[in-house]
Structure 1
Amino acid sequence: MTDPVLYIGNKNYSSWSFRPWIGLRATGIAFEERLVPFDMAAGNPAFRSFSPTGKVPVLIDGDLTIWESLAILDHAARSHPEAGLWPENPAHRSMAMAMSAEMMSSFPALRSACPMNMRRTRRPIEVTPALQADVDRIQSLWSDCLRQSGGPFLFGRFSIADAMFAPVVNRLDVYAFETSAVVADYMAAMKALPAWREWEAAGRAEPWVVEEDEA
């Protein structure tokens, strides 16, 4: 049996690619990576050759094509239950799904003002009320989970919820938002993951520069 193929975009910028990539890599699920870079804000027309939406990421597992980060991660969790991508506790699993879905549909001010950028020099930006509201909501979500689980990750061990919020860790870091001690410890744990360090090093080494991006 061949490993599934995960198509991703630039590691410096592509937040949606980062989510399934770190989820699979951090939990030891084997896959073949195929990076198709974009050097324009709208992406790359070549994505259409493998992606039904013209966007990344896309997972091809045999005859099955799966798009969207959360769907890819859920497929991996069901295909590899031993990896523990969803929390074992049913209540925690439902909470992790709710948080992951909120990540997909919410936080428009943060997405707009603070694109993921692994190469960015850490410095603050002007914070609007809408942007602060997004950051406050995220910190509240994280803090509640970490207090209940004891950390170091949102539900104790690394899960899909952590993978879905991984790009936000980068955003809060490089745009120099003030965080609580609990949140700072969580961010440090995420950034210490070997999978995080692998992705970040590759992103920093990329030659492509995009002015606007949310691929």
Structure 2
Amino acid sequence: MSTTLVIGNKNYSSWSLRPWLLLRHAGVSFDEVRLPLDTPEFRDQVGRWSPSRRVPVLHDGELAVWDSLAICEYANERWLAGEGWPADAAARAVARSAAAEMHSGFGALRAQLPMNLRRQPRGKHWDADADRDIARVQGLWRELRSRFGAGGPFLCGRFGIVDAMFAPVCVRFRGYGVECDDTARAFMDAIFALPAMQEWEAAGLAETERVGADEA
């Protein structure tokens, strides 16, 4: 049964990065289809792949799974034998809460600090709402690391879904020169040291497309 992950640009698509990173880190074999965002190609092709007309979407045989978190949950059951979440019930509950908060919240952070692997810090130009999001993210990272992170360098020790959900934030913080505490810097270092993350970055930096809204 063939497995295909349909994604957007690696430079810009934070939602695509999340399941791609989880699958690649876990060694899951899949084909990749990249549809460049904001292009006629995307508009022409996305409907054939995605019922929501958005990316990412995973095709596993005849099954289509859309939405980043849903794909991660499916992968956890299908290939990861449940190891995408911590084994401890309390750690698992808090990790799921943090992942869900990332999935549905942080609107100011998303809007004002879009993911762009090529971006270099050029000074602060976000507002107090984004500052609150930044503080909340770092607070979550501190909580997870202090309570559940003893088994490794990631939020709950071993790399899992919650780390994949926050990986694009690491790109945002680095690209915008966000002031980070020691916990945040150590977590970001761990994310950027992953071979799968380095593979994604190299491919994203090699892309030539530009999305104007994400070049601010």
The verdict on a shared fold, with TM-score over 0.5 as the criterion, is yes
Show CA shifts across 1:145-168 (max 9, x none): 112223400010001000011100
TM-score normalised to the size of structure 2? 0.93
Aligned to 1:160: 161
**1:127 aligned partner, one-letter code:** W
Aligned to 2:34: 35
Aligned to 2:20: 21
User: How do 1:109-128 and structure 2 match up within 5 A?
Assistant: 109-128=108-127
Show CA shifts across 1:103-147 (max 9, x none): 111001101101100111233322311010000000000011112
1-structure distance, mates of 2:36, 2:65: 19
Aligned to 1:169: 170
Aligned to 1:184: 185
TM-score normalised to the size of structure 1? 0.93
Secondary structure in structure 1 of the residue aligned to 2:59: strand
Secondary structure in structure 2 of the residue aligned to 1:44: helix
Give unmatched runs, 5+ long, in structure 1.
none
Aligned to 1:98: 97
Secondary structure in structure 2 of the residue aligned to 1:5: strand
* 1:145 pairs with 2:144: yes
1:22–1:196 CA contact under 8 A, matched in 2: yes
2:4–2:32 CA contact under 8 A, matched in 1: yes
User: How do 1:43-122 and structure 2 match up within 5 A?
Assistant: 44-82=43-81, 84-122=83-121
Aligned to 1:193: 194
Select the structure with the greater relative contact order (CA < 8 A; seq sep ≥ 6): 1
Aligned to 2:212: 211
Shift of 1:83: 7.0
2-structure distance, mates of 1:81, 1:188: 24
2:26–2:80 CA contact under 8 A, matched in 1: no
**1:158 aligned partner, one-letter code:** F
Between 1:82-91 and 1:117-126, the stretch displaced more is: 82-91
**2:96 aligned partner, one-letter code:** M
Shift of 1:88: 1.3
Shift of 1:27: 1.6
Shift of 1:28: 1.4
**1:175 aligned partner, one-letter code:** Y
Secondary structure in structure 1 of the residue aligned to 2:97: helix
1-structure distance, mates of 2:113, 2:159: 24
Shift of 1:62: 1.1
Shift of 1:40: 4.5
Between 1:126-135 and 1:200-209, the stretch displaced more is: 126-135
1-structure distance, mates of 2:158, 2:75: 17
Give unmatched runs, 5+ long, in structure 2.
none
Query: How many pairs were matched up?
Result: 211
Secondary structure in structure 1 of the residue aligned to 2:87: coil
1:124–1:177 CA contact under 8 A, matched in 2: no
1-structure distance, mates of 2:30, 2:89: 27
**1:176 aligned partner, one-letter code:** G
> Percent identity at matched positions?
45
**2:135 aligned partner, one-letter code:** D
Structure 1 residues 47 and 184, CA gap change in structure 2 (3 angstroms): same
Between 1:94-103 and 1:51-60, the stretch displaced more is: 94-103
